Amino acid sequence: MPAEGLLAARTLDGWIAAARAALSGDDTRLTFRTSGSSGTPKRCTHRLAALWEEVNELALLVPGRRRVLSAVPAHHVYGFLFTVLLPRAGAALPVTDLRAAAPGAVVAQLLPGDLMVAHPDFWDLAASSEPRFPADVVGISSTAPLRDASARALASGGLRLLQVYGSSETAGVGWRDTADAPYRLFSYWRRGEEEGTIERETGGEGERFALQDRLSRAGLTPSSRRAASTRRYRWAARMCSRLMWPRYWHCTRRWRSARCGRCGSTRAGA
């Protein structure tokens, strides 16, 4: 989107008009920008067809949703996938922004059929109160490792929690819905020919990405398409537990905790 068009607008209607004008020129790709808190800000461009490919698989993993409640911003790729595209994948779903609400207050609002999209620190706080969830509520966690203890506590309270592994560059790579289980690759990903890479092809166009982790194949057969992050390389996360700005977490020497490169706060590894 041309910066001058957006900056010239002074109202919400003006911003919407500027966005529509940009999309009318090319709506096949979308660019998300990292915050730059862990280095130089970077633009991550995704083909819309590739994002829809992920959303179509996500929709199969969370069928029957009636509404989406969100504790994450929509201008990063994780929030965009779950709060903008996914609600439009089938019957239009209402989306409620609950970023200003405490986890306990959000849990009290949940109803059967809800999809709660949040980050690990939200789920850690929710788990600390040992909540009980209504039937048929699905939670989503991404942007950083979620402690297995929190995942188990939430599951014991009746929540089905889907953890999504990915990055701003790749979007979603894999998922799991059980603590300690390996992540299952989305069907369109395959391990790259080069060490530490993954590849995909959408609409005849191929892409290759270098991963921040070293992956190992789990299971007995290649058809299982499961991958697990090894103990040596923890998931480089993009969420600061204090400020909630996208950034990297860096592995500590013993690989049991992670430290934010900017604010210095730490959290346990997944």
197 DSSP β-pair partners: 210
Per-domain boundaries in the chain = 1-33, 39-233
What is the per-residue pLDDT for 191?
A: 85
Domain spanning 39-233 has what CATH number? 3.40.50.12780
Helical ranges in the chain per DSSP H: 3-8, 12-25, 48-61, 77-80, 103-109, 120-128, 148-156
> What is the enclosing helix (H) or strand (E) of 258?
strand 257-260
What is the per-residue pLDDT for 127?
A: 97
What is the per-residue pLDDT for 18?
A: 80
The DSSP code for 79 is H
Residue ranges for the chain with pLDDT beneath 50: 1, 220-224, 230-270
- Report pLDDT digits (tens) over 1-55: 455 666 777 888 887 888 778 777 767 888 887 766 556 778 888 999 999 999 9
> Which amino acid is residue 214, in one-letter code?
R
What is the per-residue pLDDT for 160?
A: 98
What is the per-residue pLDDT for 225?
A: 57
What is the pTM assigned to this prediction? 0.76
